[in-house]
Amino acid sequence: MALEELYREVILDHYRNPRNKGQLDTPDATAQGVNPLCGDEISIEIRYDGDVVSDVAVVGQGCSISQSSASMMTEAIKGKTKAEIEDLVDKFRTMMSLDESDDTGLDPERPGSVLGDLEALQGVRQYPVRIKCASLGWNTLMEALESS
Ligand code: ZN
């Protein structure tokens, strides 16, 4: 299977079966984000155990890129500290940037080696308008982290 096709499958899987979808009973932090260009909406709720994000839930609607990116994000951040998540957000933003000279530490021979399913989103770079879709969940996540 071609890599691009594999990436498309990963994105569609997260879109059809969003992980950690829903709401938490007593969230420690929440944030809402919208991408008016596309009509995407994301609402994130987080629970902490000390400095670790012990639980996360997302409700949203919009295009497959925005929703699958948020779903992948929830899997990627659960069990991580704020500092680890900030590092992950940096890596994700670098991956999504158009600057090819950025060294993200990604190994093109081994998709999934660093960012897991998230690497499926790197194809979105070719469509600058969709980068906002892919980034929505992450920007909203940072808002939630900073508010708590
Ligand atoms: Zn979108």
Expressed in angstroms and rounded, the spacing between residue 37 Cα and the centre of ligand 1 is 8
Q: Which residue in this structure is represented by tokens 């093109």?
A: 108
Say what the pLDDT of residue 111 is.
Answer: 43
Question: ∠ CA(56), CA(73), CA(78), 5° rounding?
Answer: 45
pTM, to two decimals: 0.87
For residue range 81-110, what is the model confidence (pLDDT) as tens digits?
A: 999 999 999 889 888 885 555 455 555 544
DSSP state of 11: H
Expressed in angstroms and rounded, the spacing between residue 58 Cα and the centre of ligand 1 is 16
In contact, 33 and 136? CB cutoff 8 Å: yes
Tell me which residue range forms the domain holding 7: 3-147
Q: What is the DSSP string of 37-74?
A: TTTEEEEEEEEEETTEEEEEEEEEES-HHHHHHHHHHH
Say what the pLDDT of residue 103 is.
Answer: 54
Q: How many domains does the chain have?
A: 1
Expressed in angstroms and rounded, the spacing between residue 121 Cα and the centre of ligand 1 is 13
Expressed in angstroms and rounded, the spacing between residue 141 Cα and the centre of ligand 1 is 17
Say what the pLDDT of residue 15 is.
Answer: 97
Q: CATH number for the domain including 41?
A: 3.90.1010.10
- Rounded average pLDDT over 122-142: 91
